[in-house]
Amino acid sequence: MSKYNIGVDVGGTTVKIGVFDREKAAIDIETKTSIPTRTENDGVHILPDIAEAIAVLMEEYGAEMDDVARIGIGVPGPVITDRKTGQMFVNKCVNLGWSSMIDVPQELSELTGVQNISVINDANAAALGEVIAGSCSDKTVVVVTLGTGIGGGIVQSGRIMPGAFGAAGEIGHIKIQPQHPLIKNLSTLKPFADLEYYVSATGIARTAKAALQILPDQSILRDDLNAENSLTDKDKTSEDTGNSLNWPDAKAVMDAAKKGDALALKLTDFFFDTLGIGLASVAGVVDPDMFIIGGGVAGAGLFLTDGLQASYRKYVFHASSETEFRLAVLGNDAGMIGAACSGN
Amino acid sequence: MSKYNIGVDVGGTTVKIGVFDREKAAIDIETKTSIPTRTENDGVHILPDIAEAIAVLMEEYGAEMDDVARIGIGVPGPVITDRKTGQMFVNKCVNLGWSSMIDVPQELSELTGVQNISVINDANAAALGEVIAGSCSDKTVVVVTLGTGIGGGIVQSGRIMPGAFGAAGEIGHIKIQPQHPLIKNLSTLKPFADLEYYVSATGIARTAKAALQILPDQSILRDDLNAENSLTDKDKTSEDTGNSLNWPDAKAVMDAAKKGDALALKLTDFFFDTLGIGLASVAGVVDPDMFIIGGGVAGAGLFLTDGLQASYRKYVFHASSETEFRLAVLGNDAGMIGAACSGN
């Protein structure tokens, strides 16, 4: 009885749900499913949809709802815990259509019959998952997820640091003025903005587009752009061909830099330098043992962590210069795994 | 028996030692003393001097060394705890002449006969003292001490966050590019530097000097400068009178701004804006309930915390905009009180 934990990762388009055997390793998924996130009508369908999907998944797996010991659910918004009652609220989630304070554990408990439910910020859930997978639960770890934005989570001795307003680890919103000389040439970029403006996957693509538009440098990024363009009929009929080009994404920039493309290397240098300032600031606050870098951009592998660590050391207070840099390992399951392990 | 705690705050010039009754409030000092810090010969005299001063102080107070339950000692350097053994080391302390890793508890234990000794970074000790004095031990608090440099300490639920390399809360070393327009005119200042370069007491004085040298603005700061100068004979014979003037210190700048002096108000605006960016970055990492602002500069009172909070809100991620700002209350005793309360 009660031998399973359920991990739920609620994204803006998809909800991922996994079943975990409490007697096995925390990262071993017994079975999983995913459903679309219905954000219409202020997202009123989301929790009922999740409850139904959990029931179906458990039935297909051949177990009862009574076998569920607990559910952990990760959401893309700030989670606040009432210090007196221990109640956990989600304080608005624009990506889900939730515009008010919602007691997610209470509502999901009524829908599923499961009593032990906890809610966690999705970036924090992913951070917790990576720390468990990396066997570094005895350390202070900052997990940085470079995707559409930048997600971050701080894990101390295996526990998430939530923050007073559910916003600890929101390092994508630290304000940064890039110091790399490239910024002076890229006049279409803001000179001072949120860290994620420059170094999320979106930020890398933004910087690449600005560089290709403004700088005369030859680059395989430009060749690719033209090649794509010549193949695409709709571009030729578009009035504003500039906007309909397939500008390079973060992966294209990283790949070109690895091949030695000079412009792409300028872009990755800018990326390393700017994120290096940001992570040095993070270390000036929490001085972690380790950064774990995840998200789509982390597909660039050691090229990314080595370059980033070198820039970080330029800017960080000397005491913290030996901070370890690692790549995330769980990919898209990190949030689901971490959510399943969160709570008590 | 064993009814007293001893708190020791080792500074670069003075060591403060206080005796605390374990049955009374943690901030009530029974008796205290101070001795000079002898940094010569690699600071070999410091710990023996402290042991002797503790013995003398206890005797004068009419108690035995056996009555000492524990000693907490704060030092101006990074403190590292061995996770396996629990041993605490001070990893070099340039201000004390200590150039190697020192097992302070072990050495002081041999000198005093007291077994229970812990060592803590001095800024962390001051932070702990302020949190205890402010009755906010259930919160996450960042204590910022604006003095010669910037000291910082993060206290979570009454416990110091030490950091992997003893450098958590070292927020004075976060790199900042000021955004306030004044920086464009003050060409003698670096455009990008450690936070403490701009907004420590030293930083405020540095900025004021640059402004008085470069800007033509009338100001009572300039009047004071000239008045001081006309009274000082040595200035008249100095070849470089610029350097022998008594440039305003941080207190003079704050006082002039409170009187409505236009140039001083530009300087305090610059201070608020720059420190506001820094504290917004801190909140983007740990999202505290509260900032407590201490050090000599905090003598400016609510003028300081109100101005700072307004700038902070301009830059911080919206979720954290309600962070509380308070003034420190313990003054120079904070480190001694916090050290006495540190350890187990």
Residues on chain A touching B288 (C-beta within 8 angstroms): 163-164
Residues on chain B touching A167 (C-beta within 8 angstroms): 283-284, 287, 317, 319-320
Query: Percentages helix, strand, coil for chain B, rounded to the nearest 5?
Result: 45, 20, 30
pLDDT-derived band at A238 (thresholds 50, 70, 90) equals: very low
Residue of A nearest to B322 (CA): A165
Q: What is the ipTM metric for this complex?
A: 0.90
Report the alpha-carbon angle A292-A10-A81, nearest 5: 80
Structure tokens at A259: 């091949």
B293 close to B147: Cβ distance less than 8 angstroms: no
Residue whose tokens read 């005093």? B112
| pLDDT given for residue B99 in this prediction | 87
* Model confidence at A227: pLDDT above 90: no
Question: Dmax over Cα atoms in chain B, in whole Å?
Answer: 67
| pLDDT given for residue A226 in this prediction | 65
More confident site: A154 or B240: A154
Give the minimum alpha-carbon distance from B19 to chain A in angstroms, rounded to a whole number. 31
The answer to whether residue B215 neighbours chain A at the CB level (below 8 Å) is no
State which residues of chain B have pLDDT below 50.
Answer: 230-242
| pLDDT given for residue A228 in this prediction | 53
Considering Cα of A229, then A234, then A237, then A240, what sign does the dihedral take?
Answer: negative
Instruction: Give the Cα separation of B230 and A41 in Å (integer).
Output: 75
- Secondary structure (DSSP) of A105-128: HHHHHHHH--S-EEEEEHHHHHHH
Give the minimum alpha-carbon distance from B90 to chain A in angstroms, rounded to a whole number. 12
pLDDT-wise least confident of A135-144, A149-158, B151-160, B222-231 = B222-231
Q: Do A320 and B288 touch (CB under 8 A)?
A: no
Residues on chain A touching B164 (C-beta within 8 angstroms): 139-140, 287-290, 320, 323
| Residue of B13, B24, B26, B16 lying closest to B343 (CA atoms) | B26
pLDDT-derived band at A91 (thresholds 50, 70, 90) equals: confident
Nearest Cβ partner for A167 among B91, B156, B320: B320
Nearest Cβ partner for B288 among A164, A170, A317: A164
DSSP B106: H
Residues A258-263: contacts with CB within 8 Å, 24+ apart? A258/A300, A258/A303, A259/A220, A261/A219, A261/A220, A261/A221, A262/A217, A262/A218, A262/A219, A263/A211, A263/A212, A263/A215, A263/A217, A263/A218, A263/A219, A263/A221, A263/A222
User: Under the phi-then-psi rule, with left for phi > 0, alpha for psi from -120 to 50, and beta for the rest, what region is A287?
Assistant: left
The answer to whether residue A153 neighbours chain B at the CB level (below 8 Å) is no
Q: Do A285 and B285 touch (CB under 8 A)?
A: yes
* Model confidence at A62: pLDDT above 80: yes
pTM above threshold 0.95: no
Q: Do B163 and A156 touch (CB under 8 A)?
A: no
pLDDT-derived band at A18 (thresholds 50, 70, 90) equals: very high
pLDDT-derived band at A244 (thresholds 50, 70, 90) equals: low
Could you give all domains of chain A from N- to C-terminal order, each with its CATH number? 4-122+332-341 (3.30.420.40), 171-328 (3.30.420.40)
